[in-house]
Structure 1
Amino acid sequence: MSLLLSEFTVNAGRLRLLDIPSLSLPSTGLVGVIGPNGAGKSTLLKALAGIIPHAGRKTLDCTWPDPTRIAYLPQDFAVSAAMSVAECVLLGRRERLGWRITAHDRAEVGRVLSLLDLTHLAEARMDRLSGGQQQRVLLAQRLLRDPRLMILDEPTSALDLHHQLEVLSRLKALSTDILVIAALHDLTLAGRFADHLVLIEHGMLKAADNPEAVLNGDMLDPVYAIRCEVFRDRARNPVVVAHSPCDPCPKSPIR
């Protein structure tokens, strides 16, 4: 079983934003989507999540999950409501809630809060949390959906180093049973935690492979317009060091 894309395109009027003729990904695991700003990472994630229209075919296990089993977390997030953290997380199950909130519902909220080290904030107001705390709460809200597919746009962008590692470790553990697709800017973290990397350049698929095959100077330098060096940490994971910028390669139009 796998996730398959075929002739997968996104247009804005006459402008083609994304063009992926073919892509095959495992049906479980953590997939990192990487690429420079404006490459099309968010466009890909939104199309997969059903937020924006696309042409072509997408399947996961020969079908596509019901929207209630897809957990999408956008790049831009902010909750200004005066609801509590527990109430916000509970909204992740809004399609299934009846007139009364059951003990099971409350237990599940407690479970996902504990997973992301948020139990102590259960009664705190969302509008008084930091950006990083809100990001973790919204991730907990998505986990409450019991998703088959998680689509996360920069899920660690507002987090400190401790919580980046904590969240990615948790996503890695969850991905043994589900598929997690996450846009990641930090290439070293992507190399450490992702099972598979998808590299996007100018709206087109540049590479889709294991981290070792994607994270090297020959692949990264022309895409990111940098000169980089890739080392190995003590666990033999790639560590990407960008030494200097260089002139970007001319953009190839999507036809």
Structure 2
Amino acid sequence: MSLILKDLTVSAGKRPLLEIPELVLPAAGFVGIIGPNGAGKSTLLKALAGVVSHGGTKTLDGAWPDAGRIAFLPQDFTVSAAMSVADCVLLGRREHLGWRVTGHDRAEVRRVLSMLDLTPLSDARMDRLSGGQQQRVLLAQRLLRDPRLLILDEPTSALDLHHQLEVLSLLKTLSGGMLVIAALHDLTLAGRFAEQLVLIEGGRVHATDSPERILTGGTLDPVYAIRCEVFRDRDSNPVVVAHPAQGARAGSLER
């Protein structure tokens, strides 16, 4: 089975923001959405999450998951409430909570906190955490939903290098049993962790393929208005280094 979008459109008044005649993605795995600022990445994620009106159809496993099986973490995530980290994560299961919180509920909270190295912060107040800590807590909250489809808009934007690798490694592991779709600005991280990339330009899909085929100068340079060099790290993952396009010849330098 696959995730299939057909004639997906989003508009602001008469101005089209997103026009995707067809896009087919795997039913599970880690898909990275890339593209320059304003290309339509966030709009696509919001349409998938059902938080903006859109035309067209979308199916996953032949239908579309119930809202309770979709977890969406937007780019703006600041929490100013004085609730504890554990209680904030517990809200991820709010649709299923009864009059009291069960031992199983608390055990599940502890499990996802441990996954994201957040156990020592369990009793800390959300409004006293750093932006990166809050981002990991809110990701834990989404994971508590046991989603079929996990949609993330810049999930590592506030994280240090250690936690970027930790979170993306976790997401890649979890994507064996769910579909993870994440917008990522860092092309090197996208190439290292995503199994498929979707390059968005001007509200349309410019290209979709494996990182090895997308992360090339021929594909990236005209979309980002850059001249890039593509190297390989010790595990043969692509490493993208961008240079200004002005006065440079087209294409990339491959190492």
Name the TM-score class by shorter chain: over 0.9
Look up the equivalent residue of 1:3 and give its one-letter code. Answer: L
Alpha-carbon distance in 1 for matches of 2:206, 2:244: 22
Q: CA separation in 2, counterparts of 1:246 and 1:209? A: 28
Residue in structure 2 matched with residue 35 of structure 1 by the alignment: 35
Once residues 145 and 108 of structure 1 are traced to their aligned partners in structure 2, the CA distance between those partners, rounded to angstroms, is 10
- Which residue in the other structure is 2:145 paired with? 145
Q: 2:3 and 2:104 mapped to 1: Cα distance? A: 32
Q: Where does residue 182 of structure 2 map in the other structure?
A: 182
Partner residue in 1 for 2:79 = 79
Kindly tell me: are residues 192 and 58 of structure 1, through their superposed partners in 2, closer, same or farther at Cα, counting changes over 3 Å? Answer: same
Q: Deviations over 1:141-176 (max 9, x none)?
A: 000001000000000000000000000000000000
Partner in structure 2 of residue 203 of structure 1: 203
The residue correspondences of 1:211-250 to structure 2 (distance < 5 A) are 211-246=211-246
Question: Partner of 2:13 in structure 1?
Answer: 13
Alignment of 1:106-117 (within 5 A): 106-117=106-117
| Structure 2 gap ranges (5+) | 248-255
In structure 2, the residue matched to 1:58 is 58
Where does residue 163 of structure 2 map in the other structure? 163
CA distance in 1, matches of 2:206, 2:157: 23
CA RMSD of aligned residues (A): 0.8
The one-letter amino acid of 1:154's match is E
Partner residue, 1:252: none
Q: Return the alpha-carbon distance in structure 2 between the equivalents of residues 194 and 63 of structure 1.
A: 24
Count, aligned residues: 247
Once residues 76 and 70 of structure 2 are traced to their aligned partners in structure 1, the CA distance between those partners, rounded to angstroms, is: 18
Indicate the percent of aligned positions where both proteins have the same amino acid: 76
What secondary structure is seen at the aligned counterpart in 2 of 1:156?
coil
Deviation at 1:244, TM superposition (A): 1.8
User: Aligned residue for 1:45?
Assistant: 45
Code of the residue aligned with 1:173 in structure 2: it is T
Give me the whole-angstrom Cα distance separating, in 1, the residues matched to 2:168 and 2:208.
Answer: 20
Name the amino acid aligned to 2:77: F
Q: Please give the per-residue CA displacement for 1:186-243, whole angstroms capped at 9, x wherever unaligned.
A: 0000000000000000101000111011000000000000010111111110000002
Deviation readout 1:112-134 (Å, 9 max, x if unpaired): 00000000000000000000000
Q: How far apart, CA to CA, are the structure 1 residues paired with 2:77 and 2:233?
A: 33
Q: What's 1:125 paired with?
A: 125
SS at match of 2:96: coil
Matched, 1:191 2:191: yes
Task: Give the Cα–Cα distance (whole angstroms) in 2 for the partners of residues 40 and 65 of structure 1.
Answer: 23
Runs of 4+ in 1 over 6 A off after TM superposition: none
Using the alignment, how far apart are the partners of 2:164 and 2:5 within structure 1? 29
In structure 1, the gaps of 5 or more residues are: 248-255
TM-score (norm 1): 0.96
Q: What is the TM-score with the length of structure 2 in the denominator?
A: 0.96
1:30 is matched by which residue type in structure 2?
A: F
* Counterpart residue type for residue 103 of structure 1: G
